[in-house]
Amino acid sequence: MGELDAPGAPPQRFPPEPESVAKARRFVRAALDGAAPDTLDTAQLLVSELVTNAVLHARTEIEVTARAGTGGVLVRVGDRRPERGLVPYGGSAYTGAGQGLTLVERLASRHGVETDDAVKTVWFELWSEGSPPPPPSDGWGAATPRTGRGGTVTLLDVPAALCLTCTQHRHTLLNELVLALASGDVPGVTAQDLAVALDLNDVISAGLTVAPHRSHAEVEFGSLPLWVPSGAGPPLETLRAVLDVAEEAARDGRLLTLPALPRGRGFQKWVFGQIGDQLAGERPTAWTVMPREPGAGTSEPVLWDAGQVQAGRVATIAADESNRIIAVNGQAEALLGWAAADLVGLPLTTLIPEHLRRRHTMAFTSLLLSGQPRILGRSLPLPALHRDGGQVPVRLFVESQETGDGHTVFVARFSPRGSTPPAPPPARLRPGAPQEAGGAPGPASCGRDRRTDVDRRTGVDRADVRSELERLSLLAETGATLSTLPDLKEGLRRVGGTLTRWLADWCLVDLLTGQDEVERICVVHRAPPGPWPEEYEGRLPPLSGTSRGPLARALRGAGPLLFAELPLPGRAGSPLDAHYVELFRRLGANSAVVAPLRSPRKVIGALTLVREGRGSPFTEEDLPLANELGRAIGLRVDNARLHQETRKIAERLQRSLLPVLPEIPRLGVAARYAASSATAEVGGDWYDCFPLPDGDTALVIGDVAGHDLDAAIAMSQLRSMLRGIAVDRQEPPGEVLRRLDMANHTLYHEATATCVYGLIKELGHGLWEFVHSSAGHLPPLLVGPDGRTRYLEDGAGLLLGLDPGLVRPQADDAVPVGSTVLLYTDGLIERRTESLDHALGRLRGHAAGLAREPLDVFCDELLIGLAAGSDDDIAVLAVRPGSPP
């Protein structure tokens, strides 16, 4: 090492204890006295990292040598476990533990490791400013490979970003557990068990990071052989137990490390399960086909990409782990009235009404501290705050995504209330065939050259897709994607992503939007976001009578068509044909398949699949699958268009039917409505509140059977009739409901509905009374200001539509000042998996805790606490008498 080989201070030996880190730092400062201040500070930092690694992972006597020369400094850290190789993560610098070697790589002029039969020594050099560039370093390439007896297990479909996140988290937990154990803060773990866990974790981490470094520009799956030592079964159980204790300590706040999120827990469980199962002789099971625990999201670990947020067709906002907004798309700007530049950097609570901010902060903190999701992956009706101060009723869907360096981003998609909630990406196909346990990766995962037609990212030979299983899986995923996503364009982009993983390098979808009008909905490349030219998206030249090219023929119903030799530019017969030929040239196509998208009624568009460069071209064998894909996509697109038309009509109807709540002196009134997240967007639930000429206030809640436009129409007529009868007659509630039942019977002989009609009366001197009659509806809930609750079960009668001549009972109940009368529909509480008694008890518990909250908070918290993921319409009406002035 030239000038840095000059004699320095004698080596210093330290015991494998945490205190040795500070002692080694002081030793280096003394030994390098006279070095430049910046060099000295860096040397102390790096020796701290290396000695910490030795204390944690070698647990033998540590020898540190430090010397300075005219060109810089040299520091060496040795331990007596040469068989324990280094575990460089190979990722970017990370704020958590486990990145000591990355710091050395970033800050040292040269670094490396030397081993012999007895000692492993890690060293680094720091060259002073102005010194000549040092020769290249071997880096960690000289690290001793694993030794001893063992075997190999195969992990199929390992997600790169999630694997990095979990490896770092496991490493951080165990490292902090060492310090906690030294202070006696974590009972349930012995020093011996922790040493066993650390050793096996090092082996597993080394195997998981030995795979070639992958670009994190996209989600990647790959298969990985993992070497484990003989007899790894008992140590694996010890590692599981130690990590369970560490996770519990993290959830209880006894560690600085945050607990793992659900997807991380699921992935770690899968890795450990695969090791144990394959050591016992079982065959591998891919990560992509494993079931997920609630809140763990989809089988595909979504990698954070700000470009996908910007390209999304649904209002989307992303926030980091500090609850700061990091990305906003145009749809969110339009929905909430904010410019993206003004929102980025602000806390997410900027978009949350003030009465819900404390709730959000508590939930977000709970997620980070406990790892238990309460809203991830669920549809949640709540209000968002518009820039003008108003509230926007939305449905919220939140999912977590991983960054390339192991952090988490939370992506929230907003749908205006009454729209179907956005869904996460669909489950990924299982790529390739299973491999033999203990063997090297087979041909489906070895990353062969593109000319062999094996996808580097998925490891899938495209010939495999022609098998019956792969064909059916591909068709199923295509259909599921378009069925679960509310936005048609977003769904087609997701389908394009699937097809470019399994069939093609490019996928284009063109739809007929009017008479001879063609719109290119999406252009998807196998390496998103893709360098495609923007001018080839959007509105295309019209389909004219002179159009004779591939796209024009497919739009007229021909095909599927195979083009092994693409048309020449001079043969274009129309602007549409010329556009299509030029696009192929720009894409570098070697072949293409064009298939019409057929609905039961007509051809509605075309699907184009393109292979580029020197890859294997399409053949006649690909045409049947392309034909099936065209039919499947065409059917889903046609259904989606019909659903969107119905949804628009339903949403307009819904908005027209929601009443404006009156302002009543000394009476607070609040209401909420959330349309079903799984049906036709509007149904038969309704609420109403209006003053009567005699001074009483009428309260109405009802539910017409059904979830379609017929139910909504019947509901609107019932509501109108009820208003007319109540205002004209001003009779007791039981008589008003009897007259409503008779009128309803003349219009709908077989229609049934439930309804509560009540009058809230001020009796004077601060006394109030609620008089009501119920036609088969759930009982109103009275919530006292002290949190006591009581269901008002008297006055219950049959549903509307069963016996119009029946005399209906009614009940009178005193309502103390400050109490809340709550009317609600069954969508708020009923769940298929629990009894009605349990559901009613759950409502009482939530309402009791909100007794003193303002009515707006009361209603919003009920929806947040009870309505997440509900697949039924929900209507809520609450009134609260106040004291006289």
Evaluate whether residue 427 is within a structural domain: no
Confidence band of 490 (pLDDT split at 50, 70, 90) = confident
β-strands 767-775, 796-797: how paired? parallel
Look at 373-377, 418-422, 813-817 and tell me which has the smallest mean pLDDT.
418-422
Element (H, E) at 158: strand 150-159
Which of the residue ranges 456-470, 539-553, 794-808 has the most confident prediction, judged by mean pLDDT? 794-808
Same domain, 95 and 162: no
Residues 8, 119: one domain?
yes
Q: How far apart are CA 122 and CA 18, in angstroms?
A: 19
The CATH number given to whatever domain includes residue 378 is: 3.30.450.20
In a domain, 459, yes or no: no
pLDDT band at 441 (very low <50, low <70, confident <90, very high): very low
Q: How many domains does the chain divide into?
A: 5
* Distance separating alpha carbons of residues 839 and 830, to the nearest angstrom: 6
- Strands of 874-881's sheet, edge to edge? 667-674, 874-881, 820-824, 781-783, 789-791
> CATH number of the domain that 30 lies in?
3.30.565.10
Q: Would you say the C-alpha torsion 430, 435, 437, 442 has a positive or negative sign?
A: negative
Q: What is the mean pLDDT of the chain?
A: 78
| Cα 797 to Cα 373: distance, rounded to the nearest angstrom | 41
The three-class DSSP label of residue 788 is coil
Same domain? For 210 and 335 the reply is no
Query: Is the per-residue pLDDT at 148 higher than 80?
Result: no
- Residue 47's domain spans which residues? 2-127
Is pTM beyond 0.85 here? Answer: no
Q: Is there a single domain that holds both residue 640 and residue 662?
A: no
In whole angstroms, give the CA distance from residue 196 to residue 476. Answer: 45
Does some domain include residue 434?
no
| Predicted pLDDT at 373 | 59
Question: What six digits make up the tokens of 745?
Answer: 């019977």
Across residues 232-254, what is the average pLDDT? 85
Q: What is the percent of the chain where pLDDT is above 90? A: 20
Do 730 and 775 reside in the same domain of the chain? yes
- At residue 484, the pLDDT reads 59
Give the per-residue pLDDT at 205.
Answer: 82
Among residues 149, 155, 181, 150, the alpha carbon closest in space to that of 167 is found at: 155
pLDDT digits (tens, 9 = 90+) for 648-690: 666 666 666 778 899 998 999 999 988 765 544 566 788 999 9
Regarding whether 381 and 346 lie in a shared domain, the answer is: yes
Report residue 785's pLDDT band, with 50, 70 and 90 as the boundaries.
Answer: very high
**Main-chain phi, psi angles of 14, to 5 degrees:** -130, 145
pLDDT for residue 693: 92
Task: Please determine, for residue 309, whether its predicted confidence score (pLDDT) is greater than 60.
Answer: yes
Looking at residue 171, its amino acid is H
DSSP helix/strand/coil, 369:
helix
- The per-residue pLDDT for 878 is 96
Domain match, 221 and 155 both: yes
Please indicate, yes or no, whether residues 787 and 663 belong to a single structural domain of this protein.
yes
The rounded distance, in Å, linking the Cα atoms of 402 and 408 is 5
Tokens 């399960």, residue located: 273
Each residue of 64-89: pLDDT tens digit? 999 887 778 899 999 998 877 776 65
Would you say residue 133 lies in a domain? no
> Is 428 inside a domain boundary?
no
| Residue 797 within any structural domain of the chain | yes
**Does residue 469 sit within a domain?**
no
Residues 271 and 205 in one domain: yes
Lowest-confidence range among 93-102, 110-119, 152-161, 269-278? Answer: 93-102
Q: Of the residues 260, 289, 318, which one is the last residue of a structural domain? A: 289
Q: Which tokens hold the place of 607?
A: 């699907």
More confident residue, 603 or 427: 603
CATH number at residue 611: 3.30.450.40
Measured from the Cβ of residue 526, the count of other Cβ atoms closer than 10 Å reads 23
